[in-house]
Amino acid sequence: MSVAVKRATIYFDMSLHRVLRMKSAETSRSVSELVNEAVSTALHEDLEDLELFKKRAKEPTVSFESALKELKLNGKI
């Protein structure tokens, strides 16, 4: 089965790229595979976050000011 791919140019910080190449060599996986896996994982986490936001949308909100006042009343700050 053939997987469609799209080429892209990505600019990495030099030290990050060096470590990425080292991981690639140690794991016998290409840099592309490692980057694709990392991006896929990050997007999956975003999807999970959005699902949680949707579930919690009807929960009451607390303002930052109220939260600070509560901390002060409880002797936390």
pLDDT in tens, 24-66: 999 999 999 999 999 999 999 999 999 999 999 999 999 999 9
- pLDDT of residue 3 exceeding 90: no
Residue bearing the bigger pLDDT, 1 or 2: 2
The residue ranges of every structural domain in the chain are 14-73
pLDDT of amino acid 1: 58
Rounded CA-CA distance 31/14 in Å is: 14
pLDDT of amino acid 67: 97
Give the global pTM.
0.72
In Å, the largest CA–CA distance within the chain is: 63
pLDDT of amino acid 10: 96
Rounded CA-CA distance 28/68 in Å is: 51
